[in-house]
């Protein structure tokens, strides 16, 4: 209805503007001609202007009159008590339509009570929370505590038009109906929940936490309350509000949460040894990532896989904390099945990682004041997720942001004794080849003639384990004496390990060298 009125007023304004233009034109025409035709045009244009002006004035006056004399609203019959505790599927469907397709309407409170959706999201986006609680965390919590009792609807953060999009989770109420009890939005500042509850519980939560407010969206029979998950709320307090809302609809008691049981080192290593991972990660891969991304913040300590007595031996890496102290933040073990990390973190972050990834558990080793969590790097974890856990743990102690990265964890290359170019292309990815090229920090610009040498020439002229340099190429008469810089190109086959230290390489040549276990360094 409101849209129709706006369209009508727009039409009247446009008509008035056009009629004024016609009136001006008619006046000019009358001055020039001063005949019956010009007189008629002038009168017609003037009448048209008067008509549109009257319509415009009436359109402005009508809403004022309607506002001055509101019609009394018909009294609603009280709904049965059982109906008050449940929302109909139609109400839930209508609420979702308002969120996805008519976002603007959410900011117009129907009852004069509550805060609009846009305002709540704006507060959340400017809020602050050191430990982020994500949509994935909420889903993980509901999945782990309630299982099949909750129906999860996990969605992206925004629609194609850029409007915010929430996860919407459902509970089966005691009457057997499905009820959407929470909307979960994710912003740059803090996560924001909309909880569907009763005013009694909602008002109770607003007294307990200043970040809880009555919400005008969605428009429904039951009350909705917005919860901005900022630094004033702990994860446990958010979980408690979710639990109490679910209990309100199910009529069941809040489930007792079993304390997180710590798992021993031997048991964790046994799990890792029997785990499975297609994309292998190694201790050197983790160390290489930390060196590249945190050269001044992290000190790596790389060690063998086992002691002389056969006991497992981990790499132990250290971070410089914000108080200037060095602390060991991760143990990295390598097994026959999958890599295993033990991360030193806080219980808040550790529990969040547990909710997100089933392969994360509380660790009984080492015994320390801070919590330690074990991470079995199996097929359920991507390299990016492993990176994220390392990054967040480091940020926890340094107090700094997670760095913008160009270097990532790269899986190791499985080497062979003999390789052709086609075989090397199949074994080694571009990313692995680029990551394998070491840069000499002391290298300077090279002058002199440019030369080339092929991989098969090196294979025929050098022995297993040799270091290939420009000086040795000249000694063997493989390049002219006046050449000052050499580029290695791919050709033929390579059947030995070589350590190549030259000025430039083709990516294909790098793949051949590292596929046989060699190294490449730009000098």
218 and 273 share a domain?
A: no
The lowest-confidence range among 102-116, 244-258, 421-435 is 102-116
49 and 185 share a domain?
A: no
Q: Are 340 and 269 in contact (CB under 8 A)?
A: yes
Q: State the average pLDDT over residues 115-121.
A: 91
118 and 245 share a domain?
A: yes
pLDDT at 258: 64
115 and 179 share a domain?
A: yes
Share of the chain above pLDDT 70, in %: 87
CATH number at residue 299: 3.90.1150.30
- 63-93 per-position pLDDT tens digit: 444 444 444 444 443 333 333 334 444 444 4
Helix 347-356 and helix 135-146: axis angle, to 10°? Answer: 80
CATH number at residue 111: 3.90.1150
Higher pLDDT, 317 or 99: 317
Residue at 72 is within a domain = no
C-alpha to C-alpha distance for 214 and 111, rounded to whole angstroms: 12
Question: Which tokens is 217 given?
Answer: 């969206």
Its pTM stands at 0.49
DSSP 350-383: HHHHHHH-TTEEEE--S--SSEEEEEEE-TTS-H
pLDDT at 120: 93
110 and 246 share a domain?
A: yes
pLDDT at 161: 74
pLDDT at 222: 76
219 and 308 share a domain?
A: no
CB atoms within 10 A of CB 232: 14
What's the domain range around 394? Answer: 268-398
The domain total for the chain is: 4
- 361-414 per-position pLDDT tens digit: 999 999 877 789 999 999 999 888 999 999 999 998 998 888 887 777 777 777
- 152-191 per-position pLDDT tens digit: 999 888 877 777 899 999 999 988 999 999 999 998 888 9
pLDDT at 81: 34
C-alpha to C-alpha distance for 81 and 400, rounded to whole angstroms: 53
At residue 94, does pLDDT exceed 50?
no
Share of the chain above pLDDT 90, in %: 47
Residue at 46 is within a domain = yes
111 and 208 share a domain?
A: yes
Interacting residues of 174 by C-beta distance below 8 A, sequence separation 6+: 85, 249, 250, 251
Q: Are 183 and 99 in contact (CB under 8 A)?
A: yes
345 and 276 share a domain?
A: yes
At residue 214, does pLDDT exceed 90?
yes
pLDDT at 130: 72
Q: State the average pLDDT over residues 456-473.
A: 95
The lowest-confidence range among 31-45, 413-427, 448-462 is 31-45
30 and 130 share a domain?
A: no
C-alpha to C-alpha distance for 211 and 187, rounded to whole angstroms: 15
At residue 474, does pLDDT exceed 80?
yes
The lowest-confidence range among 22-26, 224-228, 342-346, 495-499 is 22-26
At residue 43, does pLDDT exceed 70?
yes
348 and 387 share a domain?
A: yes
């Amino acid at each position: 209805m409101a849209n129709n009125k706006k369209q009508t007023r727009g039409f009247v304004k446009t008509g008035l503007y056009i009629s004024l233009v016609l009136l001006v034109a008619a006046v000019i025409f009358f001055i020039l001609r001063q005949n019956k035709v010009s007189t008629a045009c002038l009168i017609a244009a003037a009448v048209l202007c008067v008509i549109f002006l009257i319509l415009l004035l009436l359109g402005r006056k009508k809403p004022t009159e309607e506002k001055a004399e509101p019609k009394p609203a018909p009294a609603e019959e009280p709904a049965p008590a059982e109906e008050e505790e449940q929302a109909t599927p139609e109400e839930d469907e209508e609420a979702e339509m308002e969120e996805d397709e008519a976002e603007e309407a959410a900011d117009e409170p129907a009852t004069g009570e509550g805060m609009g959706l846009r305002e709540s999201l704006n507060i959340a986006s400017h809020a602050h929370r050191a430990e982020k609680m994500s949509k994935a965390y909420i889903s993980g919590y509901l999945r782990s505590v309630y299982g099949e009792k909750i129906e999860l609807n996990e969605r992206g953060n925004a629609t194609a038009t850029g409007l915010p999009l929430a996860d919407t989770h459902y509970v089966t109420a005691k009457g057997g109906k499905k009820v959407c009890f929470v909307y979960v939005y994710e912003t740059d500042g803090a996560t924001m929940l909309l909880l569907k509850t009763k005013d009694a519980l909602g008002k109770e939560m607003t007294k307990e936490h200043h970040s809880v407010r009555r919400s005008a969206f969605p428009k429904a029979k039951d009350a909705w309350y917005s919860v901005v998950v900022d630094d004033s709320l702990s994860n446990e307090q958010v979980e408690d509000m979710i639990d109490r809302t679910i209990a309100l609809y199910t009529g069941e008691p809040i489930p007792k949460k079993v304390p997180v049981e710590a798992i021993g080192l031997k048991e964790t290593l046994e799990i890792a040894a029997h785990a499975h991972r297609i994309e292998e990660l190694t201790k050197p891969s983790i160390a290489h990532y930390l060196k590249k991304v945190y050269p001044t913040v992290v000190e790596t300590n790389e060690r063998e896989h086992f002691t002389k007595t056969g006991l497992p031996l981990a790499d132990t890496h250290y971070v410089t904390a914000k108080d200037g102290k060095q602390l060991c933040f991760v143990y990295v073990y390598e097994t026959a099945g999958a890599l295993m990390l033990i991360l030193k973190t806080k219980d808040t972050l550790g529990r969040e990682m547990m909710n997100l990834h089933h392969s994360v558990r509380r660790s009984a080793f080492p015994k320390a004041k801070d919590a330690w969590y074990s991470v079995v790097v199996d097929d359920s974890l991507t390299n990016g997720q492993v990176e994220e856990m390392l990054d967040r743990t480091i940020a926890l102690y340094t107090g700094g942001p997670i760095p913008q990265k160009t270097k990532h964890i790269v899986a190791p290359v499985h080497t062979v004794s003999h390789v052709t170019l086609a075989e090397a292309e199949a074994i080694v990815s571009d990313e692995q080849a680029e990551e394998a090229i070491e840069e000499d920090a002391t290298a300077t610009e090279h002058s002199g003639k440019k030369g080339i040498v092929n991989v098969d020439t090196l294979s025929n002229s050098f022995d297993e384990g040799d270091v290939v340099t420009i000086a040795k190429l000249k000694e063997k008469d493989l390049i002219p004496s006046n050449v000052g810089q050499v580029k290695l190109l791919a050709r033929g086959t390579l059947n030995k390990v070589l350590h190549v230290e030259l000025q430039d390489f083709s990516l294909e040549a790098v793949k051949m060298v590292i596929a046989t276990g060699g190294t490449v360094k730009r000098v």
